[in-house]
């Protein structure tokens, strides 16, 4: 499998850890790169992969960057997302994690992060890893392939803490979906924090402060 194209911010000196950050539907790895200077971690590599381009059913089949096909706007629909697409994108992200190991960054020094569709992928992957991550950030996200979690979630996937963040006025991914994902995670005994903000489907300054605090706490624990 070929590696996804990525935008990267790499320190000039030794790299203490890595954040792999997955963008939302129709966006690109450039979306969250401007946040890097505001996070205050000068010895951490940031990897912002660009999702593969594919037709998306809810957008009239237009080809766009997407981690998987979304077939319905109904968040309760059991076949809302394409399972094969979710699993294929998970393999792409695992390949990026493996590359970090080759570059000297251990699995437990990696934080996986994502926004919206990228957050759904982050949650999916983080619950199923074979080796513990350092942490996972689920921003404006939701659960995909929920009926497979019980069979597929790993012991390693329960060791790293999660940050959940969501806008209370989000009309793209309703906050109830993010809250349900958070409650599923905590019901499994996984350490997780919930943060909501008076905003829509976006990221605001308050959320950036919480992201910064989470990252500093995780990398500070090394």
Q: Mean pLDDT over residues 15-43, rounded? A: 97
- Residues 114-131 have pLDDT tens digits of 999 999 999 999 999 999
Identify the structural domains of the chain with CATH numbers, from first to last: 6-220 (3.40.50.1820)
Task: Kindly tell me the burial class for residue 166, based on how many C-beta atoms sit within 10 Å of its own C-beta (0-12, 13-18, 19 or more).
Answer: buried
Predicted model pTM: 0.96
The answer to whether residue 73 scores a pLDDT higher than 80 is no
The gap from C-alpha 103 to its chain's centroid, in whole angstroms, comes to 21
Q: Annotated active-site positions, please?
A: 116, 170, 201
Per-residue pLDDT, 1: 66
Q: Mean pLDDT over residues 8-18, rounded? A: 94
Phi and psi, residue 13, nearest 5°: -105, -155
Nearby residues of 155 by Cβ (< 8 Å), 6 or more positions away: none
* Separation of alpha carbons 176 and 163, rounded Å: 16
Reading across the β-sheet that carries 135-139, which strands appear in turn? 6-9, 44-49, 17-22, 110-115, 135-139, 162-167, 192-197
Q: Which of left, alpha, beta for 104 (phi over 0: left; psi -120 to 50: alpha)?
A: left
- Residues 182-200 have pLDDT tens digits of 999 999 999 999 999 999 9
With pLDDT > 90 as the criterion, what percentage of the chain qualifies? 94
Side-chain-facing half-sphere of 72: CA atoms under 13 Å:
9
| Axis crossing angle, helix 83-102 with helix 117-126, rounded to the nearest 10 | 70
- Residues 132-171 have pLDDT tens digits of 999 999 999 999 999 999 999 999 999 999 999 999 999 9
C-alpha pair distances (Å), 86 with each of 99, 108, 170:
20, 23, 23
Per-residue pLDDT, 2: 79
Q: Mean pLDDT over residues 84-103, rounded? A: 97
């Amino acid at each position: 499998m070929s590696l996804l194209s990525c935008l990267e911010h790499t320190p000039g000196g030794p790299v203490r850890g890595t954040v792999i950050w997955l963008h939302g539907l129709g966006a690109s790895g450039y979306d969250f790169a401007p946040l890097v200077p505001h996070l205050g971690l000068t010895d951490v590599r940031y990897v912002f992969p660009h999702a593969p381009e594919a037709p998306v059913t809810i957008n009239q089949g237009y080809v766009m960057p997407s981690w998987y096909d979304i077939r319905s706007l109904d968040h309760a629909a059991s076949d809302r997302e394409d399972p094969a697409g979710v699993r294929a994108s998970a393999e792409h992200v695992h390949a990026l994690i493996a590359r970090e190991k080759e570059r000297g960054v251990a699995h437990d020094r990696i934080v996986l992060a994502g926004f919206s569709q990228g957050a759904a992928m982050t949650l999916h992957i983080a619950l199923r890893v074979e080796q513990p991550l350092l942490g996972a950030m689920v921003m404006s996200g939701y659960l995909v392939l929920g009926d497979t979690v019980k069979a597929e979630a790993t012991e390693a996937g329960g060791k790293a803490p999660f940050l959940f963040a969501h806008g209370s006025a989000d009309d793209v991914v309703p906050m109830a979906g993010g809250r349900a994902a958070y409650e599923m995670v905590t019901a499994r005994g996984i350490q997780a924090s919930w943060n909501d903000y008076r905003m829509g489907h976006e990221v605001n300054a308050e959320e950036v402060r919480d992201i910064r605090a989470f990252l500093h706490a995780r990398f500070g624990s090394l």
